[in-house]
Chains A and B, each alone.
Chain A
Amino acid sequence: MSKDRVTGLVALATSLVLFALTLDLKQSPLVPIGPGFYPRIVLGVTAVLAAALLAFDLLSRKRPAERRAANYGLVLASFSVFGVYVGLLPFLGFRIATLLFVAALQATIEPPKGWRGWAIVVATALVTTTSAYYIFERQLSVLLPRGRWTDF
């Protein structure tokens, strides 16, 4: 299935589901236009555009473009590492979670070789974490996430 067909189908399905949900919104007695009025217009337009994309793709005779070789494994791994980081942040706090994240993502993107490689990974993680903490929390008074498990 072509990319446009998948995009059109996903956008059409999502907009129709959300459109259906707007029908449950209660009309306010104070305002002549209810909270569902504008979302219905937006979702209706989105559905029409998604259907148009789908139709154009179905009617089109062009062959799908050749796909470039891409390292999707690395993209998926990087997203996963970031997802784990986001999941751990409220439990470990900014400092520990960031230290682990920076080291893990570096190792994912370019697996370190030998003790020198690992030293660069650890040093980068340490410098990034401590400088971010020092600059933001100490100098700029920007609060960073605290960990429920670590309490800092």
Chain B
Amino acid sequence: MYELLLNGLQDVMQTKYLLPLFIGTLVGVVGGALPGITNTMTVIMVLPFTFGLEPLQGLATMIGVYIGGESGGLITSCLLGIPGKPSSIATMFDGYPMSRKGEPGRALWLGIWASFFGGLLGAIFLVGATGPLASLALEFGPWEYFSLFVFALSMVAGLTGASITKGLLAGAIGLVVTVMGNDPVMGQVRLTLGIPWLEGGIPFLPVLIGVFAFSQMMSDLEKVRGKAVDPLAKVVVPKLVVSHAKVVWEILSRPVLLLWTSFIGLLIGVLPAIGGSAANVMAYDQAKKFSKRPEAFGTGTPEGIIASEAANNSNVGGSLVTIMAFGIPGDAVTAVMLGAMTIHGIQPGPLFISQEPKLAYGIFASYIIAHFIMVAILLVGVRWFLKIVMVPKSILVPVILVLCVVGAYALSNTMANIYVLLAFGVIGYLMVKAGLPLAPLILGVILGDQIEINLVRAIMTDANPWLFLTRPISGLLLVLSVASVAFALWQHQRHRGRPGAVQEDGADF
């Protein structure tokens, strides 16, 4: 394993892989620093650029975006009090007060170094756990796969959004999308409503791009009043000089906090379709609960920054484990990566690490090296990235939408994908307005075909439906599915009526 990892590191250190990884990380940091532009959006924008690249080049670019984006978000969180993206919200709770107390450099670099160490702890898990988990998944028959996918969907539906009914409904709508077009077993055309471009089915990437890009862009445009230029245009860059040795020691002298919050990030990452936004808030909450001085949280304590940033970077490692071992995206960013992999003819899942070891270990290596690149980029350019917030929405939105069109069209050089993009752009926006969470919808669209194929395969192998329950792993997964819904119901019941439990409109990623 370590020899393969060493080979992977040597491969990625070649200019042809290192350059896309560097560019991806740089773009990720810039995207992360832009308030309102999530990692998903940045990776969607980068997607079409990867089509003409080798698979590892393309994936290295996306991993760079992912790591860069997780860290870039903390710049505006710490220095301006505006989270660059949802996964750096909790960083702001203490990062901004620390900056206002006159220590902006300390706040910023505590976050950056915590991201670095959290990310590297995530790498240990990523490298060590992917193989064994993939081996476990190799034992799965169609019953287990069916139950695993149902479990993933039920968990996401339960944990996202304020209403479990809406979460489940969004997941079911995602499954409905996949039943339109050819049936995956016999290829019979079904439920196309006479629309010719639906006959081949609805590809998930244009759906994902449309849903995420439009819901976010349009939700941002709703808030535009008069001049669309951000009022923060005149940003004053503070002095960011700091002793790095001191900051690193500040983090490493709190090993339990670093390990525990990185573990939380990993755990959230492994859970399907739940991203860094949940990881950083949960890690912050845990750090506060276990702290000897919980009252200091929110006033500029270093523990708050370390917890949040270590968790959101280790979260990436967890998400990559899920997609590489099971073929299930850990969050929306890995869902786009899954699409990029399929474009290059690569099928992530249990066989991936054994059939494509060069690529798999290249991904591990890219993930590790991206953290070093991220620190180097921020060392050089952090002052410049702070000025990124000056880019007005009137320029950003059209450029992003053009990249979405290119990304959707280039998948198969057909206008049908652009029609799907537009249709799901409208549907995604309406779903956000209706309070339906988008993560279950996307997971439903991604897993729908696999759920059907495995259900049919299981019944064709043995018509006894009880096998889904009597086979130990399958039964356990189905029990866990019910338990996750029950847990979510209990949690919603508990939170009902509490102040702050009001659901807001907005894209939930």
How many residues on B have C-beta within 8 angstroms of the other chain's C-beta atoms? 70
A85 to B435, alpha carbons, bound, how many Å? Answer: 28
Question: Shortest distance in angstroms between A107's beta carbon and chain B's nearest beta carbon?
Answer: 8
Cβ of A31 and Cβ of B186 under 8 Å apart? yes
B residues in contact with A36, CB < 8 Å: 190
Decide if A144 touches B191 in the complex (CB within 8 Å): no
Give the one of B165, B393, B403 with max A CB within 10 A: B165
B452 in contact (CB, < 8 A): yes
Specify which chain A residues have a CB less than 8 angstroms from the CB of B225 in the assembled complex: 71
A111-152 at interface with B (beta carbon < 8 Å): 120, 124-125, 128-129, 132, 135-136, 139-145
- Which residue on A lies nearest to B218, using beta carbons? A75
CA distance A4 to B165 in the complex (A): 10
Neighbour of B395 across the interface among A49, A98, A106, CB < 8 A: A106
Task: Enumerate chain A residues within 8 angstroms of B53, measured Cβ to Cβ.
Answer: 140
Would A53 and B223 count as touching, CB distance under 8 A?
A: no
Select from chain B the residue with minimum beta-carbon distance to A117: B394
Which residues of chain B are within 8 angstroms of A53 by Cβ–Cβ distance? 165-166, 169
Q: Does B302 have its Cβ within 8 Å of any Cβ on chain A?
A: no
Cα-based distance from A82 to B394 in the complex (angstroms): 14
Interface flag for B490 (CB, 8 Å): no
Given contacts A38-B179, A74-B221, A82-B425, contact A98 B456 (CB under 8 A): no
CB contact list, A58-110 vs B, under 8 A: 65, 68, 70-72, 74-75, 78-79, 82-83, 85-86, 89-90, 98, 101-102, 105-106, 109-110
Q: Which of B191, B405, B435 contacts A3 (CB 8 A)?
A: B435
- Whether, in the assembled complex, B379 has its beta carbon less than 8 Å from a beta carbon of chain A, the answer is no
Say yes or no: A142-B426 contact (C-beta < 8 A), given A18-B176, A42-B179, A110-B394.
Answer: no
Q: How far is the CA of A129 from the CA of B415 in the complex (A)?
A: 18
CA of A136 to CA of B422 in the docked complex: distance in angstroms?
A: 21
Interface string of B184-221 (1 = CB under 8 A from A): 01101011010000000000000000000010011001
Q: Write out the residue numbers on chain A whose beta carbons fall within 8 Å of the beta carbon of B448.
A: 42
| Given known contacts A39-B190, A53-B166, A79-B218, A142 and B436 CB-to-CB distance under 8 angstroms | no
B260 within 8 A of A: no
How many Å lie between the Cα of A33 and that of B454 in the bound state?
12
Give the residues from 458 to 509 in chain B that come closer than 8 angstroms, CB to CB, to chain A.
Answer: 459-460, 463, 502-503, 505
Give the docked Cα–Cα distance between A66 and B392 (Å): 29
User: What are the residues of chain A within 8 A of B227 when measuring CB–CB?
Assistant: 110
| Interface status of B433 (Cβ within 8 A of chain A) | yes
B285 at interface by CB-CB < 8 Å: no
CA distance A30 to B48 in the complex (A): 41
Smallest CB-CB separation from A8: which chain B residue? B169
Report the bound CA distance from A11 to B214 in whole Å: 21
Given A3-B435, A78-B218: A35 in contact with B166 (beta carbons within 8 A): no
Q: Is the CB of B190 within 8 A of A35?
A: yes
Given the interface contacts A33-B460, A35-B185, A38-B455, does A105 sit within 8 Å of B401 by beta carbon?
Answer: yes
A13 at the interface (CB under 8 A from B): no
* Set of chain B residues within 8 Å of A28, measured between Cβ atoms: 186, 188
Q: Identify which of A37, A45, A128 contacts B398 (C-beta below 8 A).
A: A128
Residues of chain B lying within 8 A (CB to CB) of residue A39: 176, 179, 190-191
| Bound Cα distance from A31 to B185, whole angstroms | 9
Main secondary structure of the interface of A (DSSP, over half): helix
Contacting residue for A106 out of B398, B403, B409, B456, CB 8 A? B398
A89 and B434 CA atoms in complex are apart in Å by 31
B176, B448, B451: residue with the most chain A Cβ atoms closer than 10 Å: B176
Chain B residues with CB below 8 A from A68, complex form: 505
* Segment 415-471 of B: residues with Cβ below 8 Å from A: 415, 418-419, 421-422, 425-426, 429, 433-436, 448, 451-452, 455-456, 459-460, 463
B402 interface residue (CB < 8 Å to A): yes
- With both chains docked as a complex, state the minimum distance between the C-beta of B52 and any C-beta of chain A, in angstroms: 3
**CB <8 Å contact, A71 and B188:** no
- CB-CB < 8 A to A136: which residues of B? 48-49, 52, 406, 410
Given the known A-B contacts A38-B179, A43-B176, are A110 and B415 also in contact in the complex, defined by CB atoms under 8 Å? Answer: no
Q: Which chain B residues lie closer than 8 Å to A11 at the CB level?
A: 169, 173
> What residues of chain B lie closer than 8 Å to A101, measured between beta carbons?
398, 401-402
The answer to whether A132 and B179 have CB atoms under 8 Å apart is no
Q: What residues on A are CB-neighbors of B421 within 8 Å?
A: 86
Contact of B221 (CB < 8 Å), options: A26, A65, A75: A75
Contact B190 A102 (CB under 8 A): no
Contacting pair B222 A71 (CB below 8 A): yes
Q: Given A7-B436, A143-B410, A26 and B218 touching (CB < 8 A)?
A: no
Q: Is the CB of B410 within 8 A of A105?
A: no
Judge whether B403 and A70 touch: CB under 8 Å. Answer: no
Nearest CB in chain A to that of B52: its residue: A140
List residues of chain B with CB within 8 A of the CB of A70. 222-223, 505
Given contacts A109-B394, A110-B229, A140-B52, contact A102 B399 (CB under 8 A): yes
Residues of B within 8 A of A79 (CB): 214, 218, 425-426, 429
B218 near A31: Cβ-Cβ < 8 Å: no
> Complex: how many Å from CA A123 to CA B485?
52
Q: B422: which of A56, A83, A106 is its contact (CB, 8 Å)?
A: A83
Q: How far is the CA of A105 from the CA of B459 in the complex (A)?
A: 52
Query: 23 A–B contact pairs at CB < 8 A?
Result: A7-B166, A11-B169, A31-B456, A36-B190, A38-B452, A42-B179, A43-B176, A45-B175, A46-B175, A49-B169, A65-B503, A79-B429, A83-B422, A86-B422, A98-B402, A105-B401, A110-B392, A110-B394, A132-B406, A140-B52, A140-B53, A142-B51, A143-B410
Which of B's residues lie within 8 Å of A, judged by CB? 48-49, 51-53, 165-166, 168-169, 172-173, 175-176, 179, 183, 185-186, 188, 190-191, 193, 214, 217-218, 221-225, 227-229, 392-395, 397-399, 401-403, 405-406, 409-410, 413, 415, 418-419, 421-422, 425-426, 429, 433-436, 448, 451-452, 455-456, 459-460, 463, 502-503, 505
List 9 extra interface pairs beyond A18-B179, A22-B190, CB under 8 A.
A6-B434, A26-B188, A33-B460, A65-B503, A74-B224, A79-B425, A86-B418, A102-B402, A144-B406
